[in-house]
Amino acid sequence: MTARILSGKPIAEAIKFEISADISQFRREHGSAPCLAVVRVGEDPASAVYVGNKVKTAEEIGMISEHHHLADTTSHDAMLALVESLNRRDDVDGILVQLPLPDQIDGREILEAIDPAKDVDGFHPINVGRLSQGEKALVPCTPAGVIEILKRSEIEIAGRNAVIVGRSNIVGKPMAMLLLQENATVTICHSRTRDLADVTRRADILVAAIGRPGFVRGEHIGEGATVIDVGINNVSDPDLARELFGVDEIEKRLAAIDKRGFTLVGDVNPKDAMERAGAFTPVPGGVGLLTVAMLMKNTVEAARSRRKI
* pLDDT-wise least confident of 43-52, 55-64, 115-124, 142-151: 43-52
Bridge-partner residues for 96, per DSSP?
Answer: 38
pLDDT at 44 over 90: no
Instruction: Please answer whether residues 179 and 203 qualify as being in contact, where contact means their C-beta atoms are separated by less than 8 angstroms.
Output: no
pLDDT at 220 over 70: yes
pLDDT at 307 over 90: no
Question: How does residue 1 score in pLDDT terms, banded at 50, 70 and 90?
Answer: low
Q: Which of 295, 293, 297 is nearest to 10 (CA)?
A: 293
Structural domain contains residue 225: yes
Note whether 105 and 156 are same-domain residues. Answer: no
Structural domain contains residue 11: no
Look at the chain and report how many structural domains it folds into: 2
Q: pLDDT higher for 309 or 286?
A: 286
pLDDT in tens, 77-112: 999 999 999 999 999 999 999 999 999 999 999 999
Look at residues 65, 85, 117 and tell me which one is the last residue of a structural domain: 117
pLDDT in tens, 223-257: 999 999 999 999 999 999 999 998 889 999 999 99
User: Which one-letter amino acid corresponds to residue 235?
Assistant: V
Note whether 237 and 281 are same-domain residues. Answer: yes
Note whether 62 and 201 are same-domain residues. Answer: no
Query: What pLDDT score was predicted for residue 45?
Result: 85
Query: What pLDDT score was predicted for residue 306?
Result: 87
Note whether 74 and 192 are same-domain residues. Answer: no
Query: What pLDDT score was predicted for residue 309?
Result: 58
Q: At what angle do helices 141-152 and 288-306 cross, to 10 degrees?
A: 110
Structural domain contains residue 309: no
Mean pLDDT of 132-141: 95
Q: Which of 14, 303, 290 is nearest to 171 (CA)?
A: 290
User: Which one-letter amino acid corresponds to residue 299?
Assistant: T
Look at residues 51, 85, 117 and tell me which one is the last residue of a structural domain: 117
Note whether 147 and 87 are same-domain residues. Answer: no
Write the CATH number for 84: 3.40.50.10860
Note whether 60 and 184 are same-domain residues. Answer: no
List active site positions.
54, 98, 121
Look at residues 101, 117, 133 and tell me which one is the last residue of a structural domain: 117
Q: At what angle do helices 141-152 and 172-181 cross, to 10 degrees?
A: 40
Structural domain contains residue 110: yes
Write the CATH number for 271: 3.40.50.720
Note whether 63 and 151 are same-domain residues. Answer: no
Structural domain contains residue 78: yes
Question: How does residue 308 score in pLDDT terms, banded at 50, 70 and 90?
Answer: confident
Tell me, letter by letter, the H, E, C secondary structure of the chain: CCCEECCHHHHHHHHHHHHHHHHHHHHHHHCCCCEEEEEEECCCHHHHHHHHHHHHHHHHCCCEEEEEEECCCCCHHHHHHHHHHHHHCCCCCEEEECCCCCCCCCHHHHHHHCCHHHECCCCCHHHHHHHHCCCCCCCCHHHHHHHHHHHHCCCCCCCCEEEEECCCCCCHHHHHHHHHHCCCEEEEECCCCCCHHHHHCCCCEEEECCCCCCCECHHHCCCCCEEEECCCEEECCHHHHHHHCCHHHHHHHHHHHHHHCCEEECCECHHHHHHHCCEECCCCCCCHHHHHHHHHHHHHHHHHHHCCC
Query: What pLDDT score was predicted for residue 284?
Result: 94
Structural domain contains residue 213: yes
Q: How many CB atoms lie within 10 A of CB 77?
A: 10
Structural domain contains residue 278: yes
Structural domain contains residue 298: no
C-alpha to C-alpha distance for 244 and 230, rounded to whole angstroms:
16
Supply the range of the domain harboring residue 158: 141-290
Mean pLDDT taken over the chain = 95
pLDDT in tens, 154-205: 999 999 999 999 999 999 999 999 999 999 999 999 989 999 999 999 999 9
Note whether 151 and 94 are same-domain residues. Answer: no
pLDDT at 46 over 90: no
Note whether 111 and 249 are same-domain residues. Answer: no
Instruction: Please answer whether residues 116 and 127 qualify as being in contact, where contact means their C-beta atoms are separated by less than 8 angstroms.
Output: yes
Query: What pLDDT score was predicted for residue 74?
Result: 97
Q: Which of 114, 117, 122, 119 is nearest to 143 (CA)?
A: 122
Q: pLDDT higher for 50 or 157?
A: 157
pLDDT in tens, 255-282: 999 999 999 999 999 999 999 999 999 9
